[in-house]
Chains A and B, each alone.
Chain A
Amino acid sequence: MSEKTFITVDGNEAAARIAHLCSEVIALFPISPSTPMGELCDAWSAAGKGNVWGDTPVVLQMQSEAGAAGAAHGALQAGALTTTFTASQGLLLMIPNMFKIAGELTPTVFHIAARALATHALSIFGDHSDVMSARSTGWAMLSSGGVQEAHDLALVSHAATLRARLPFMHFFDGFRTSHELNKIEALSPETVLSMLDPELVLAHRDRGLCPERPVLRGTAQNPDVFFQAREAANPWYLELPGIVQKTMDELAGKTGRQYKLFDYVGAPDAERVIVMMGSGAGAAEEAIAKQNDAGEKVGLVKVRLFRPFSNVDLLAAVPKTAKKIGVLDRCKEPGSAGEPLYQDILTAFAEAHAEGTIDAMPRIVGGRYGLSSKEFTPAMTAGIYAELGRDAPKNHFTMGIVDDVTHTSIEYDKSFTTESDKVVRAVFYGLGSDGTVGASKSSVKIINGTTDLYAQGYFVYDSRKAGAVTVSHLRFGPETINSSYLIGEASFVACHAFGFTQRMDVLGEAAKGATFLLNTPFAADEVWDELPQEMQQQIIEKELKVYCINAYAIARQVGLGHRINMVMQTCFFSLAGVIPKDQAITAIKGMIKKTYGKLGEKIVNKNINAVDEALANLHAVKIPGKSTSEKRRIPPVPDHAEDFVKRVTGMIIDGKGDMLPVSALPPDGTFPVATTRYERRGIAQQVPIWDSSLCIQCSKCSIACPHAAIRAKIFDPEKLGADAGNGRPETFETLSWKGNDFKGMEMRIQVAPDDCTGCGICVDVCPARSKEEVKHKAINMSPRLDHLDVERANWDYFIDQPDLDRRLIKPGQVRTAQMFEPMFEFSSACAGCGETPYLKLVTQLFGDRMVVANATGCSSIYGGNLPTTPWSKGQHGRGPAWANSLFEDNAEFGLGMRLALDQQESQARRLLGKMAPKVGEALAKAILECKQLDEADIYEQRQRVTELRKRLEGDESDDAKALKVVAEDLVRQSVWIIGGDGWAYDIGFGGLDHALASGRDVNILVLDTEVYSNTGGQSSKSTPRSAIAKFAAKGKRTGKKDMGMIAMSYGNVYVGQVAMGGNDTHTLKTLIEAESWRGPSLILAYSHCVAHGIDMGKGMQHQKEAVDTAYWPLYRYDPRLAAAGNAPFRLDSKRRTPSVHDYLLKEARFAMLARSRPDDAEELFGALQQDIDARWHLYEQMSALAPIEQTEAEESD
């Protein structure tokens, strides 16, 4: 055995390292949580890193997982060693090719970060639903339970697939393993190479398609031979388990780590045995050790090879003494006789018993656990053993939840713990991007890299993009750490954001006597009084040692801005005693040099200064004997919230969602809307404050606000009340409306101080400046806390005031259109998001009659990720009805909605015609003939439908009953198909194209960030030439697809390209025109994004420059113009700046190419300029087209 090399990696990297070494072609598509595997391989190949044969694997990002599987299939057929990475829906999209690949006896390995499938809801978290759904494909399935295993069994898979000629799914638990950082022993390239038989590599190559030895593969077969041919592959499946075991044995010979197809741990004479796969085994093993130490006889079978399932090896692994077997599946198969692993185990024992191989049939029960990364702990394991100890253990049970509906759950003793005193357990609460997770990862690497200790890190992220909370769970100990569950008894807790203390229970995991480190602006002798009563009580009761530091002050002082990672990391090592303080400080400084050395000496010095300053400014807090605070922790939702929000949403917001029983949750995934308004997260440091003396009532602040947190409203002064008599706050100032349209009315611009994210876009777009002080505008950012009480009262009053009658509002003007109530508010999108202003505007215009199909991506996450949703409803109670299906099918999903609504409208019209004599001919005629062209029409139609329903009351005829249900479809419903460019340009393009070609009245809104935003900035076909993105780290070499031109080619599609920051009125008019077109519409909306590397508060300025440079021309293509004999294409923007160069250098996605590869940048920027010039030239020509002269013959047609 060679010298051991230890590395600190997560499960994704552990597997990806092997995959890259063993592959020649890697075709992939990003999907959480497997994305990092592909990104790492791309980075390695981009850096010229080779596989074990010295060749650099080619890495190609495809348009979908279906595409990745297809490309992989092709590469395999042409003889290349090929791999890919995926999860969840991605794996489902690969299944058709997987059947083919297996059917053709093709060696390959797909590495899967196993994840839940979208059912009643999407979940990015881990379970085995995806791999179990692919179990019938004929692939071998090898399961890894931890980071080391993900490394080792990745190699076993790559070696065994060549030997067995069958493809392998190598899978490990998404997030719990894929994202867990741990110390593992690395396999050297030499070891990897030694496991790959060169003859078998050549054999694979020889089977590849080649004109020199032509063959036909992929025939169509008839009933006469198909069946036999299917059975002809049996020998390979029969041999595979033996091959895998032999490969495992070979690996053991090289590394000392022995794996079995079914690994047994526990008492040799165990009576109760659990069988499971994946990371949960880590928790189970700890429980087993403790229980057996206590004299019990329990054991665990860890299933490694799930397919082909080897009954013989299973039976050999289970002790003969086993009387009760509990089989745990990390998935749910509704309606089945049992979950897959349970059924296989049961079948194996039943067959053996029937055949006489075993004397007695043990009692076998199945249970479900851990769906969507639900915690699975040693205590739960002990609970299952306890259940197995009963005479009649519950079958088809669930563990880890409370099922009060069908009563499947079993209880367990939550106080059971296996945490060792030898292990330091630390929990860190941080804000997203404040460096907490980075520092935690660094701490794990420092310990693993510089000591003999072992460290493990696991990170719980937020689904909110703005104001995200991260929780890092770190363990440090003298032995390998396989604890695959969150820390419950922390010896060290750090809170990196003082605001958390007011809202969250950050000390819930603190063990008695633990150390609590708090980042606070308050001094050590002041901070106690600033803590809420609940926290003070916990500190006293748990006898915590409390330390504080003003990390933000230190970070600012040393020039690190808000990055407090070095300060807090230093304090942790100083207090936690994992290693001697001096050794830790030396190691931190060494890590700083390693991490930041590439970025320059000054950055290194700043971080080193932060370490030194942290040590000098860390103070102990004196704890009084009793709680003295009058402050209470802020409740998650206000008292006035509706019942469901208080019972369910509030619990989830409070981090107590795990405690909700089954009965609390909607069984079909249907949730109430308008719930973000209850969160009032208060994440902004500064909020915009209105200066009415300067306001010109343009409402640009309101239209640009990504969070609907600054709004305009017009009031009737008589209803408003002139003074505070009707509850109007004295500070509720209004301004007389400047214009004849609402003469005599008052208006106000109002901030929602608890919902604003502080992005500053509103101030940036405000055109009204003080004559005396130019930087002072009609709205100005100001410290939130200075205005909180006043603006909170103003907001509450503002929002309660009635909105203007929609019929009175001119929708085509920004200043008045902003008086429409938004029905998309306070989303958790990134502060300053470029997508959400469009969504908000669409809801203002059409929200009260809008149905939304939303593609998976950023917009489905900030739009539909629990606990709350920004999709809202107006004062009238109407609002957008929203649904998300998948990533790839959204256009089809929305088109289906349109078909249904059209069909229902058609039914309603038919029924109404039929019932006209009963309900009144005049009313029926008015309803049937109403064009519904504007708000007034819509209003009148609603009134008529209400009247119709009234007239149908009491009529129990079938027609009347049916008409009552579908009558609402007589009011024009507006279908919106919404998603990002990853969906529209790539994975969903085929469906989108079909929706456009359908001729149906759908409105497709593409929120074009020119990159996959939700999964972290991967290149899409919308990414422009020269932009840096993941999978285009050297700048994208190909140009952006002109989606608008493709749509225009149909002739009957309304197409608009908009950029709100370029021209907000144009955006408004385009949306109105698109919606009014009774055919398909496509709106391409430029959306700035954090992935562009820009100051998000200046996002609208970037949009303006994009338009002015013709990088993003504004245009409209309206088929109605063509029908009227006019040129349908209008180029609506001017090219004010001929060169795009200066604009590019303001966005890091381009500027970094100029910095990193200046020569390439010069060439690619030039090519991009040519793209822009060519497109502009074409658009100019199109806009100059003469009106179409219709011939007499055409007219007569």
Chain B
Amino acid sequence: MSNVDLKTKWLGLELKSPIVLGSSPLSLRREAVRQLDELGAAAVVMPSLYEEELEHDETEIQHLLEFATESTGEATEFMPELEDYHIGTRDYLENLKGIKDIVSIPVIGSICATSASGWREYAKQMESAGADAIELNSFFVPTDPKLTSADVEARYVDTVADVAKSVKIPISVKLGPYLSAPANLARRLVDAGASGLTLFNRFEQPDIDLEELHIIQDHHLSGPEDIGHTLRWIGILRGQHPEISLAATSGIHFADCVVKMLLAGADVAMMTGAVIRNGPGHLAMVLEGVRAWLEEHEDDSVEQVKGSMCQTKCEEPVEYERAHHLKPLIHYTHEA
């Protein structure tokens, strides 16, 4: 039996391993989540509760129930009224509770709201339902030309401050990769009350159907080639903020990805696409790979290596900052 300690601490939560099941519909499948708990998953993040979706559903169902009604005497309505439309947050919260009931690991609620009251109220409801922490899925596409980058950042910061005042459970902010000043924003989010950051969100992307000439949504899962951007900012931010929780997400498919993130400074790595593709057993395999790597490198624990290669602790800090493909910049002399 290995003596390597896989435990880690994230958002103030004591976790049994550094691999968290990231936010996706898989988190709603109770049997799969229960199995993942047994296989070593450290926590589970619920899929996001989208305020836009709730509002859309409410509006659509109202329209539907009123569609083509009260026009002719023979047919004053077309759709029978149904007993339950499963509107609002009830189903989400029941799912969260249901997952909580069957697992021993922390369950993290996730919110993507469009209004201040949405962020606040949903967070409170999730806390009441037993969520161990909240992930704020904060990114939005700022198409309004009048909206400045400062406005966008202020919205993120204000949201965090508002939610932090409303709940007692820890908050992690899931950031999108497209930010003008991530380091500064990270600082401000922490100051506003965030306990941690999740880097980075992965989005639906538009595509073009070349035959039908329609814009369509691209549904690709992440691949291991996608980890670079996350690795960069985990490494940079860990150097700047030794105290905050960092979670790495997007492209975590194999044990080496997890290890790299831990070395760069992540407290946990979130797996989603790889588990969806390969099934719960994949997570166990990755975890075993992490354990093997630590053993092989004679490391005692995850905590020992976490951040050991962040920007301030590695031998090549400038590589975290390099964005362009230059010829190798060789230092011919050592600068005093």
**Residue from B55, B70, B72, B86 in contact with A1156 in the complex, judged by beta carbons closer than 8 Å:** B86
**Is there a chain A Cβ closer than 8 Å to B183's Cβ?**
no
List residues of A (1084-1108) whose CB comes within 8 Å of B's CBs. 1090-1091, 1093
| Beta-carbon contact of A1091 and B73 below 8 Å | no
Q: Which of A32, A435, A596, A599 has the most CB of B within 10 A?
A: A599
Query: Using an 8 Å CB-CB cutoff, how does the interface string of B246-289 with A read, 1 for contact, 0 for none?
Result: 00000000000000000000000000000000000000000000
Question: Which of chain A's residues have a CB closer than 8 A to the CB of B77?
Answer: 1016-1017
Q: How far is the CA of A1155 from the CA of B57 in the complex (A)?
A: 10
| Beta-carbon contact of B78 and A1090 below 8 Å | yes
| Beta-carbon contact of B85 and A1028 below 8 Å | no
Q: How far is the CA of A436 from the CA of B70 in the complex (A)?
A: 8
**Is there a chain B Cβ closer than 8 Å to A554's Cβ?**
no
Question: Which of chain B's residues have a CB closer than 8 A to the CB of A599?
Answer: 58, 61-62, 65, 85, 87
**Residue from B64, B68, B76 in contact with A1152 in the complex, judged by beta carbons closer than 8 Å:** B64
Question: Which of chain B's residues have a CB closer than 8 A to the CB of A39?
Answer: 80
List residues of A (1009-1024) whose CB comes within 8 Å of B's CBs. 1013-1017
Q: How far is the CA of A504 from the CA of B47 in the complex (A)?
A: 54
**Residue from A43, A124, A1013, A1093 in contact with B73 in the complex, judged by beta carbons closer than 8 Å:** A124
Q: Which of A32, A433, A769, A1013 has the most CB of B within 10 A?
A: A433
Q: How far is the CA of A1014 from the CA of B76 in the complex (A)?
A: 10
Q: How far is the CA of A437 from the CA of B70 in the complex (A)?
A: 6
| Beta-carbon contact of B82 and A1152 below 8 Å | yes
**Is there a chain A Cβ closer than 8 Å to B155's Cβ?**
no
- Ordered by A's residue number, 17 sampled pairs between the chains whose C-beta atoms are within 8 Å are A32-B74, A33-B73, A432-B68, A432-B70, A437-B69, A459-B70, A462-B72, A561-B63, A599-B61, A599-B85, A769-B213, A830-B68, A1015-B75, A1029-B80, A1033-B81, A1156-B83, A1156-B85
Also in contact, A465 and B71, with CB within 8 A (given A599-B87, A600-B58, A1091-B78) = yes
Chain A minimum-CB-distance residue to B72:
A461
Q: How far is the CA of A470 from the CA of B85 in the complex (A)?
A: 29
Question: Which of chain A's residues have a CB closer than 8 A to the CB of B166?
Answer: none
Also in contact, A1028 and B79, with CB within 8 A (given A468-B71, A600-B58, A1090-B67) = yes
**Is there a chain A Cβ closer than 8 Å to B128's Cβ?**
no
Q: Which residues of A approach B to under 8 Å, CB–CB?
A: 32-33, 35-36, 39, 42-43, 46-47, 124, 175, 179, 432-433, 435-438, 459, 461-465, 468, 470, 559, 561, 563, 596, 598-603, 769, 774, 830, 861, 1013-1017, 1028-1030, 1033, 1090-1091, 1093, 1148-1149, 1152, 1155-1158
| Beta-carbon contact of A1017 and B70 below 8 Å | no
Q: How far is the CA of A1093 from the CA of B80 in the complex (A)?
A: 11
Question: Which of chain A's residues have a CB closer than 8 A to the CB of B70?
Answer: 432-433, 435-438, 459, 461, 470
Question: Which of chain B's residues have a CB closer than 8 A to the CB of A432?
Answer: 68, 70-72
**Is there a chain A Cβ closer than 8 Å to B54's Cβ?**
yes
Also in contact, A463 and B72, with CB within 8 A (given A603-B62, A769-B213, A1156-B84) = yes
Give chain B nearest CB distance to A1008 CB in angstroms.
Answer: 16
| Beta-carbon contact of A461 and B71 below 8 Å | yes
Also in contact, A598 and B87, with CB within 8 A (given A470-B70, A603-B59, A830-B68) = yes
Chain A minimum-CB-distance residue to B61:
A599
Q: How far is the CA of A599 from the CA of B60 in the complex (A)?
A: 10
Chain B minimum-CB-distance residue to A604:
B58
Question: Which of chain B's residues have a CB closer than 8 A to the CB of A1148?
Answer: 64, 79
**Is there a chain A Cβ closer than 8 Å to B12's Cβ?**
no
| Beta-carbon contact of B64 and A774 below 8 Å | no
Question: Which of chain B's residues have a CB closer than 8 A to the CB of A436?
Answer: 70
Give chain B nearest CB distance to A759 CB in angstroms.
Answer: 13
| Beta-carbon contact of B79 and A1017 below 8 Å | yes
Q: How far is the CA of A1002 from the CA of B84 in the complex (A)?
A: 47
A-B contact count (CB 8 A): 135
Give chain A nearest CB distance to B77 CB in angstroms.
Answer: 6
Give chain B nearest CB distance to A175 CB in angstroms.
Answer: 6
List residues of B (37-69) whose CB comes within 8 Å of A's CBs. 54-55, 57-59, 61-69
Q: How far is the CA of A599 from the CA of B87 in the complex (A)?
A: 6
Q: How far is the CA of A338 from the CA of B6 in the complex (A)?
A: 99
**Residue from B59, B68, B84, B87 in contact with A433 in the complex, judged by beta carbons closer than 8 Å:** B68
| Beta-carbon contact of A1016 and B75 below 8 Å | yes
**Is there a chain A Cβ closer than 8 Å to B88's Cβ?**
yes
**Residue from B63, B81, B213 in contact with A774 in the complex, judged by beta carbons closer than 8 Å:** B213
Give chain A nearest CB distance to B129 CB in angstroms.
Answer: 17
Q: Which residues of B approach A to under 8 Å, CB–CB?
A: 54-55, 57-59, 61-88, 213
Chain A minimum-CB-distance residue to B60:
A1148
Also in contact, A1090 and B85, with CB within 8 A (given A769-B213, A1017-B78) = no
Question: Which of chain A's residues have a CB closer than 8 A to the CB of B69?
Answer: 433, 437-438
Question: Which of chain B's residues have a CB closer than 8 A to the CB of A470?
Answer: 70-71
| Beta-carbon contact of A1156 and B82 below 8 Å | yes
Question: Which of chain B's residues have a CB closer than 8 A to the CB of A42?
Answer: 80
Chain A minimum-CB-distance residue to B83:
A47
Top 7 A-B residue pairs of the complex, sorted by shortest distance between their CB atoms: A432-B71, A1016-B75, A600-B58, A437-B70, A461-B73, A1017-B78, A468-B71
**Residue from A438, A461, A861 in contact with B66 in the complex, judged by beta carbons closer than 8 Å:** A438
Q: How far is the CA of A774 from the CA of B79 in the complex (A)?
A: 36
| Beta-carbon contact of B78 and A433 below 8 Å | no
| Beta-carbon contact of B86 and A1155 below 8 Å | yes
| Beta-carbon contact of A1016 and B78 below 8 Å | yes
Question: Which of chain A's residues have a CB closer than 8 A to the CB of B84?
Answer: 1156-1157
| Beta-carbon contact of B71 and A433 below 8 Å | yes
Question: Which of chain A's residues have a CB closer than 8 A to the CB of B87?
Answer: 598-600
Also in contact, A563 and B66, with CB within 8 A (given A468-B71, A599-B61, A602-B58) = yes
| Beta-carbon contact of B80 and A43 below 8 Å | yes
| Beta-carbon contact of B67 and A1013 below 8 Å | no
| Beta-carbon contact of B68 and A1028 below 8 Å | no
Question: Which of chain B's residues have a CB closer than 8 A to the CB of A433?
Answer: 66-71
Question: Which of chain B's residues have a CB closer than 8 A to the CB of A1015?
Answer: 74-75
Q: How far is the CA of A1093 from the CA of B63 in the complex (A)?
A: 10
Also in contact, A1155 and B85, with CB within 8 A (given A433-B67, A600-B58) = yes
Chain B minimum-CB-distance residue to A1012:
B75
| Beta-carbon contact of A1033 and B82 below 8 Å | yes
Q: How far is the CA of A568 from the CA of B75 in the complex (A)?
A: 23
Question: Which of chain A's residues have a CB closer than 8 A to the CB of B85?
Answer: 598-599, 1152, 1155-1156
**Residue from B59, B65, B74 in contact with A1014 in the complex, judged by beta carbons closer than 8 Å:** B74
| Beta-carbon contact of B78 and A465 below 8 Å | no
| Beta-carbon contact of B64 and A1016 below 8 Å | no
| Beta-carbon contact of A1028 and B58 below 8 Å | no
Question: Which of chain B's residues have a CB closer than 8 A to the CB of A124?
Answer: 73-74
Question: Which of chain A's residues have a CB closer than 8 A to the CB of B71?
Answer: 432-433, 461-462, 465, 468, 470
Give chain B nearest CB distance to A261 CB in angstroms.
Answer: 32
**Residue from A175, A463, A601, A1028 in contact with B80 in the complex, judged by beta carbons closer than 8 Å:** A1028
| Beta-carbon contact of B74 and A1016 below 8 Å | yes
Q: How far is the CA of A1013 from the CA of B71 in the complex (A)?
A: 13
Give chain A nearest CB distance to B29 CB in angstroms.
Answer: 13
Give chain A nearest CB distance to B96 CB in angstroms.
Answer: 17
Chain A minimum-CB-distance residue to B75:
A1016
Q: How far is the CA of A640 from the CA of B89 in the complex (A)?
A: 61
Q: How far is the CA of A967 from the CA of B227 in the complex (A)?
A: 85
Chain B minimum-CB-distance residue to A1014:
B74
Question: Which of chain B's residues have a CB closer than 8 A to the CB of A461?
Answer: 70-73, 76
Q: How far is the CA of A112 from the CA of B69 in the complex (A)?
A: 24
Question: Which of chain A's residues have a CB closer than 8 A to the CB of B58?
Answer: 599-600, 602-603
Q: How far is the CA of A438 from the CA of B67 in the complex (A)?
A: 12
Q: How far is the CA of A454 from the CA of B248 in the complex (A)?
A: 66
Question: Which of chain A's residues have a CB closer than 8 A to the CB of B54?
Answer: 600, 602
| Beta-carbon contact of B80 and A1030 below 8 Å | yes
Q: Which of B61, B72, B77, B85 has the most CB of A within 10 A?
A: B72
Q: How far is the CA of A561 from the CA of B62 in the complex (A)?
A: 11
Give chain B nearest CB distance to A65 CB in angstroms.
Answer: 16
Q: Supply 10 further A-B pairs (C-beta < 8 A) apart from A433-B70, A437-B70.
A: A39-B80, A43-B81, A432-B70, A432-B72, A598-B87, A599-B65, A1015-B75, A1091-B78, A1148-B79, A1156-B84
